[in-house]
Structure 1
Amino acid sequence: MINLELPDYLDNMKTQMKGFAEGLLRPIARKYDEAEHTYPVELDVLKGMPVMSRPKKKAGEEKPKKDAERKNGSNMSQAVTVESICWGDVGLMLSIPGAGLGNAAIVAVATDEQMERFGSKWAAMAITEPGSGSDAGSIQTTAVLDGDEWVLNGEKIFVTCADRCDAVVVWANVDPSAGKAGIKSFIVEKGTPGFTLEKLEHKLGIRASDTGTFFLKDCRIPKDNILGSAEVKKSTEGFKGVMKTFDNTRPMVASMSNGVAGASLEFLKQKMEEAGIALDYNENTNNVSAMQKEYYMMEANLEAMRLLTYKASWMADEKIFNNVEASMSKAKAGRAGTLITQKVCELLGSMGFTREHLAEKWMRDSKILDIFEGTGQIQHLIVARNILKLSRNELK
């Protein structure tokens, strides 16, 4: 028998995190939506708390566990936690100290020495450039080895937590003739000469989270700041290595969408019940009102979003290659979450577009979740290439 329910400890975690989100994040969501670029000082209570860490190997860990001994790991826990926190506010969730995408990359491929140096720092990730968005392989930022230092030159845009982070994982090209194999990632600390935060963006949604542009001009960093091995020829943690980070983080973005869509749908249900519109799951869907039918369809999509996310996260915990499943969860949740929040605003009428309620904010916030960490279109390409067994050149 397949059990699709969360185990008790994860269900309890979900309840606790939702309580945290309801008590701390939901009350200040509108405040920091309107006060864009202002750091949410209320989040200072979370400083110093371990957000991301690398699990230590234990003796005999390589032995497969029996089914009765299996327990969901960090990825499933994060999926549940992220969804619950984003029910409170996704922009504030992205502003939690130490929870940057760069931290995920460091945990995934950093050496033990790099973990010691940078593991406790708040790290952002700088991939996107003016001429390189979804195609990370076309990165133009360069890194040239000069003695014991790397010299970086280029521009990075749409960097999340750009102003608040302590360090940035910068993707750069060490050998343009090598294609994607020439793409490596480097840890650049804030305050390094030649590394300048040029501007912060004014955005449609997730306004509580700061997003900025960096310029790198003859920026010099130590040779061993290349993420992974300091020897380029020995470094297998380059483009392929850090791209594997997304197999873990794309389900987390899907979880963000699950949280926002869940909050939106929950608010709609509340207002429907206040208006005397009862939801009866025993009723034939052909005999219910148009609004009820829309609600049932959105609820079904939300459940599909969650199940795809849980599967991808479970596979990551089980060390099963989940590239396709990660993209499936991101594609489904990103697109369906956007449609759910839009439809909720439509069904709410005037309540869906006034700032008196958060519904219009959830609609704005949800849009980015279909875009960053690989657009929905890119996720569909990844899935299609794997299913059809076609290469990147065969299916563009």
Structure 2
Amino acid sequence: MIDFELSPQQKQVRDMVHWFAEHEMRPISLLADKEERVPDEWLAKVNRMGISLSMSNFGGDAGKKKDDAARKEPRERQANRLGVIAAEELAWGDPAIALSLPGPGLGGPPVQSTGTPEQKERFLGIFTKDEPRWGAYALTEPGAGSDVSGIRTSAKKVDGGYVLNGHKVYITNGGRASWVVAFATVDPSLGRAGHRAFVVEKGTPGFTCTRVAHKMGLRASETAELVFEDCFVPIDNLLGGEAHYENRAGSSGFRVAMSTFDSTRPIVAAMAVGIARAAYEYTLEFVKQEYPRGQRVRHDVLAKLGEMDAKIHAARLLTWEAAWKADLGQPNAKEAAMCKAHAGRVSLEVCADCLEIMGPIGLDGHLVEKLYRDVKVFDIFEGTNQIQHLIVARRLYEPHGLRL
């Protein structure tokens, strides 16, 4: 049987992060959106508190090995489940601020899963409470977004490393990151087999941030364009080392990108759930104020609120399943795509319905209006809904001989 109850540790993480979201994030939410930045002093304070969007920061698998060795008993992995629980609460507080929290960000999973021990120590070891630092994940290009196999950033082998040339767009925290995991191809004619992943450090000659975008939503989050012009990257920065790619017939670069999505798409889905919940709860309080106790509420309004609650609950359970399978070490690409697609669509629908209930009042500096602008991208980034449905269809029907 499946147990839907959170464990004591999971409840503790949820309550702790919710407190942080309510008391630290919400008070600066609308101002950060207006100014399109999160205050540096606030980020420094949060970094000292050890709060980030990284799963390991919430008491998951990190730091447990010592206890396990002492007991000589296996401990159940739950980093992914703790990650989605925390991500929902952080996005409930403010999704743009959540994406701005210091830490390795989307660059963390590929370094953790593919990097050599030396690379893990070198690139993940910089994230301490001493000063805020960021990592980033540079995959998307002007001509290659959902179609990852179409990336054209080139990686030419030279003595001692590679020379990168290309252009990356929509990179979260790309301008302030200490390093980015950048994907490039050694030969476009090889398709996925030519992909390689590099860790490019800030300040590397030929690596520049050319623009920080001004956006409709998630305004407080930094979204950058990055350019590589004859950028030399030493061989030690090839993620996993050369043998890693040779032993896998050259296809591992694409696999690195895809395996990253399998762990991060549930996080994105959880954030969408958090946005939907924030809009729903805000609108419910609005309805309570508009209809004093004892006064009859319009039937269609109550029905719409009830429908929202059900949608949010279903999206959350899909997300939990994807995270649960990841913690068990089971393939979860189908579930990760399902929860990301469903949660993104649900969150967009909920925010739109909330604005409809509130009417013109909802557009006048209220939280729901901001959330409506923020939520649209959750239907797009980490793979559009169309791509998620394609991934699901392939895993459902190709085993039966129906190729797409």
* 1:240 corresponding residue in structure 2: 255
Residue in structure 1 matched with residue 349 of structure 2 by the alignment: 339
Distance 1:347 1:288, change over 3 A: closer
Q: Partner of 2:47 in structure 1?
A: 47
Task: Within 5 Å, give how 1:64-143 maps onto structure 2.
Answer: 71=76, 73-121=78-126, 122-143=134-155
**Alpha-carbon deviation of 1:391?**
10
Q: Which residue identity is paired with 1:31?
A: L
CA contact (8 A) 2:35 2:220 kept: yes
Query: In the alignment, which of 246, 261, 267 is matched to residue 282 of structure 2?
Result: 267
2: CA distance, partners of 1:237 / 1:124? 19
Equivalent residue for 2:19? 19
The structural deviation recorded for 1:31 is 1.0
Indicate the residue corresponding to 2:129 in structure 1. Answer: none
Amino acid across the alignment from 2:345: R
Aligned to 1:370: 379
For 1:278 and 1:148, how far apart are their aligned partners in 2?
73
Change (3 A) 1:38 1:317: closer
How many angstroms apart in 2 are the aligned matches of 1:39 and 1:115?
Answer: 29
Q: Does the C-alpha gap of structure 1 residues 50 and 24 become closer, same or farther in structure 2, counting only changes over 3 Å? A: closer
CA contact (8 A) 1:130 1:156 kept: yes
Q: State the distance in 1 between where 2:400 and 2:370 align.
A: 39
Give 1 or 2: higher helix fraction.
Answer: 2
Offset of residue 241 of structure 1? 2.6
Percent identity reads 40
Paired residue type of 1:334: G
Closer/same/farther in 2, CA of residues 332 and 207 from structure 1, 3 Å limit: same
1:33 aligned partner: 33
Relative to 1, partners in 2 of residues 1:139 and 1:278: Cα closer, same or farther, differing over 3 Å? farther
Q: Distance in 1 between matches of 2:11 and 2:273?
A: 16
Q: 1:321 maps to what in 2?
A: 331
TM-score after normalising by structure 2:
0.88
How many pairs does the alignment contain? 383
- 1:393 to 1:192, Cα distance in 2 relative to 1, 3 A: farther
1:234 shift after superposition: 3.1
Contact 2:262–2:336 (8 Å) recurs in 1: yes
CA distance in 1, matches of 2:113, 2:383: 18
Task: Give the aligned CA root-mean-square deviation in angstroms.
Answer: 2.7
1:282 alignment counterpart = none
Counterpart-to-counterpart distance in 1, 2:298 and 2:209: 55
Q: Which residue of 2 aligns with 1:284?
A: none
Distance 2:345 2:18 in 1: 24
Out of 159, 165, 168, the residue aligned to residue 153 of structure 1 is 165
Distance 1:119 1:346, change over 3 A: same
- In structure 2, how many angstroms separate the alpha carbons of the residues matched to 1:40 and 1:277? 42
Structure 1: gaps (5+ residues): 280-286
Q: Are the structure 2 counterparts of residues 129 and 301 from structure 1 closer, same or farther at C-alpha, using a change threshold of 3 Å?
A: same
Give the C-alpha shift of residue 2 in structure 1: 3.1
Which letter does structure 1 place at the counterpart of 2:373? R
Deviation at 1:165, TM superposition (A): 1.1
Secondary structure of the residue that 1:129 maps to in structure 2? coil
Aligned partner of residue 275 in structure 2, secondary structure: helix
Q: Which residue of 2 aligns with 1:383?
A: 392
Give the whole-Å Cα distance in 1 for the aligned partners of 2:300 and 2:64: 54
Rounded Cα–Cα distance in structure 2 between residues aligned with 1:361 and 1:70: 41
Secondary structure at 2:162 match in 1: strand
Residue type of the alignment partner of 2:6: L
1:306 aligned to 2:313? no
Q: Deviations over 1:128-150 (max 9, x none)?
A: 11111100100000001101121
Which residue number corresponds to residue 199 of structure 1?
211
Higher mean C-alpha displacement, 213-222 vs 34-43: 34-43
Select 2:228's aligned residue among 190, 193, 216: 216
Pairwise CA distance, 1:43: 1.9
Cα distance, 1:24 vs. partner? 0.6
The answer (yes or no) to whether the contact 2:193–2:253 under 8 Å persists in 1 is yes
Give the superposition deviation at 1:377: 0.9
- Maintained 8 Å contact 1:163/1:210: yes
Q: CA deviation at 1:116?
A: 1.1
More displaced 10-residue stretch of structure 1: 316-325 or 35-44: 35-44
- Shift of the 39–219 alpha-carbon distance from structure 1 to 2, 3 Å rule, reads farther
CA drift at 1:275 = 2.2
Q: Separation in 1 of the partners of 2:402 and 2:343?
A: 27
After superposition, the Cα gap between the structure-2 partners of 1:50 and 1:166, relative to the gap in structure 1 and judged at 3 Å, is same
